[in-house]
């Protein structure tokens, strides 16, 4: 079975996010960790294909879990790389539909950042801070996603994610996740978040 999922190239150089996110971390994170999720998702799909062909579904729980974990990891990392940029290009929005929605749902961009920072710092174990568009309520919500898939709201569209697995910060920040989260705001590509928002609300 040919590979379904493919590791995307980084949209910038490995050292482009320095000094807030170091080159060694980005290199390992993209080339090893993200690549492993892509491989894991492809492997799960291939094994499910085999199971259907053989009629043996004894491993269905493990394979279903692996597909959910690895494909979600691939999706979130793919988004993660695109919502970051070099510090010199990182500019907070001062107007527009995204900022208006943020003001409506959080009070201000500053309060959204505070809530997302607090949520990210307090994720239990490995996971993500997430800003998502929740289409039933037509509202932006902040979530703490554990691993890559737990505590998600079904149907919500992730538009901004902050990886707080230790592999995302341990080389540079050691155990100081809070410092990593505080520094992360220096490399957010808000223009991309606005584009994702514009696409999500149209669906
Ligand atoms: Mn990661």
Residues 9-64: tens digit of each pLDDT: 999 999 999 999 999 999 999 999 999 999 999 999 999 999 999 999 999 999 99
Read off the pLDDT of residues 121-172 as tens digits, 9 standing for 90 and up.
999 999 999 999 999 999 999 999 999 999 999 999 999 999 999 999 999 9
Read off the pLDDT of residues 75-91 as tens digits, 9 standing for 90 and up.
999 999 999 999 999 99
Q: If DSSP codes are grouped into helix, strand and coil, which group holds residue 144? A: strand
CA distance 117 to 163: 11
Q: Is 137 exposed, middle or buried (0-12, 13-18, 19+ CB in 10 A)?
A: exposed
Backbone region of residue 124 per phi and psi (left: phi > 0; alpha: psi in -120 to 50; beta: other values): beta
For ligand 1, the distance from its centroid to the CA atom of residue 169, given in whole angstroms, is 9
CA distance 139 to 156: 10
For ligand 1, the distance from its centroid to the CA atom of residue 152, given in whole angstroms, is 17
For ligand 1, the distance from its centroid to the CA atom of residue 31, given in whole angstroms, is 11
Alpha-carbon distance values, 110 to 106, 122, 149, 202 (Å): 9, 18, 27, 25
Write down the pTM of the prediction. 0.97
For ligand 1, the distance from its centroid to the CA atom of residue 101, given in whole angstroms, is 28
């Amino acid at each position: 079975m040919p590979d379904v999922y493919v590791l995307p190239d980084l949209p910038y150089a490995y050292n482009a996010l320095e000094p807030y996110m170091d080159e060694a971390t980005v290199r390992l994170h993209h080339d090893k960790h993200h690549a492993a999720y892509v491989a894991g998702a492809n492997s799960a799909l291939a094994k499910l294909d085999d199971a259907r062909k053989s009629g043996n579904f004894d491993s269905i729980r493990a394979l279903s879990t692996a597909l959910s974990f690895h494909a979600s990891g691939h999706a979130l990392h793919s988004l993660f790389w695109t919502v970051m940029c070099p510090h010199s290009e990182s500019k907070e929005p001062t107007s527009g539909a995204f900022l208006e929605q943020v003001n409506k749902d959080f009070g201000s961009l500053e309060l959204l950042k505070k809530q997302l920072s607090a949520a990210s710092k307090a994720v239990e174990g490995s996971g993500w801070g997430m800003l998502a568009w929740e289409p039933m309520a037509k509202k932006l919500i902040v979530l703490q996603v554990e691993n890559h898939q737990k505590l998600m709201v079904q149907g919500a569209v992730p538009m901004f994610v902050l990886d707080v697995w230790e592999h995302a910060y341990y080389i540079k920040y050691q155990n100081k996740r809070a410092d990593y989260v505080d520094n992360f705001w220096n490399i957010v590509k808000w223009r991309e978040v606005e584009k994702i928002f514009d696409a999500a609300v149209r669906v």
